[in-house]
Structure 1
Amino acid sequence: MLIKQSAKGSRRNAFATVAGIEAGVAFWGLAVVFGLTALLIASQVAYDILRIAGAVFLIHLGVKAPFFRKGAGRGFLINVSNPKAGVFAISFLPQFVPSDAGPWPLPLCVAVWIAVDIVWYSSLSPLVTRLGEWLRRDRVKLWPERTSGGVLVGFGVTVALEG
């Protein structure tokens, strides 16, 4: 998603996508802090509902790829509709916080996660934005659209079929 938005040549759109992705990370981080992602692990039904909703959304984005323009909202929705992001958050973040550490280390871990993501994505997006001029050539223009659309459809089908 970020590569596609960056390749369109708009730094503003690329950074809006980063903001949306990180808002999704913050959502999952806060879900861990408040124990909400435990529901995804404890309830197969809740996980399956989120998994199917995420799969439908990814397939929709893949089919509509040429019209997929608004970075921040799409970045957020992609991240939030991904149940694996929630499972990752609940299994990864608590490893760095002792159970008797109090309430602040876990939100601090979420903040570090977001900061690392922002540094990585903020470094990646300008590089891809520069490549965007080449990618917008007539011969090359359709390739990223078709590829990202196909990848999103593939992810959606994979998520839907996962047991």
Structure 2
Amino acid sequence: MFGIHDLGLFIVSGLLLNIMPGPDSLLIMARSAAQGWRAGVAAALGIGTGTMVHVLAAAVGLSALLATSATAFTVVKWVGAAYIVWCGIGMLRARLRSEAVDAPPPPPPLPLRRIYAQGFLTNVLNPKVALFFLAFVPQFIDADATNKPLAFVILGCIFNFNGMLWCNGLALFTAFASARLKVKPLVALWLNRVTGSLFLVLGARLALADRH
């Protein structure tokens, strides 16, 4: 149907790819542990929105520009790397929340809309995601399909739906585990710092990445 073949294999492969750890999962876990499941879900929704941008762009051929134009790829790559590094620096600068009575109040939690924006930008500014869709999704579309863009969008929506199941489940699990284990402020602080360090590494890797 719609020129799509091996749909079951696509779904299983997509689930396995979504489960692989990456900057999206790290951001969701850090926000869920620090601010609860709502923050994790906000990050997940932002990531899902970014994924749909890549799906729609690839379906209409815009992402092909990233695969053929060194200049376009380099611009998006450096903007994305800079944003990921900026997020990492923000996490590294997190302060320990003291529980002492005379201690100054902790900084207010990030608004959910800002966390959503973080998830969206972290995903949409990564050109590797666009190239992934261009390389992965067409393998499940017949060469003689009458409407390849429609088939691409359908497969992209299925991939994103499965990804959202995983991301929101990860947000809920992390928040539940943090509350259940009564994560101390020091632990949450170091989780932020470890995640921030990994974001710096990921940003550097993205900045040094080529198109292949």
1:138 shift after superposition = 3.0
The alignment yields a C-alpha RMSD, in angstroms, of 1.8
1:142 shift after superposition = 1.5
Runs of 4+ with >4 A deviation:
none
Separation in structure 1 between the aligned mates of residue 196 and residue 182 of structure 2, nearest angstrom: 16
| Length-normalised TM-score, structure 1 | 0.92
Q: Does 1:90 align with 2:134?
A: yes
CA deviations on 1:10-51 (whole Å, 9 max, x unpaired) are 222221111100001100000111001100110111111111
Separation in structure 2 between the aligned mates of residue 123 and residue 160 of structure 1, nearest angstrom: 30
User: Map of 1:1-163 to 2, 5 A cutoff?
Assistant: 1-65=27-91, 66=94, 69=110, 70-103=114-147, 104-133=150-179, 134=181, 136-163=183-210
Amino acid at match of 1:98: D
Number of aligned residue pairs? 163
1:152 shift after superposition = 0.8
1:8 and 1:136 in contact (8 A); partners too:
no
Residues 11 and 23 (structure 1), Cα distance of their counterparts in 2 relative to 1, 3 Å cut: same
2:31 and 2:40 in contact (8 A); partners too:
yes
Structure index of larger Rg: 2
| Length-normalised TM-score, structure 2 | 0.72
The SS at the match of 2:142 is coil
Separation in structure 1 between the aligned mates of residue 117 and residue 35 of structure 2, nearest angstrom: 18
Separation in structure 1 between the aligned mates of residue 192 and residue 134 of structure 2, nearest angstrom: 33
Unaligned runs of 5+ in 2: 1-26, 95-106
1:135 shift after superposition = 6.6
Give the % identical residues.
Answer: 27
Amino acid at match of 1:46: A
1:141 shift after superposition = 2.5
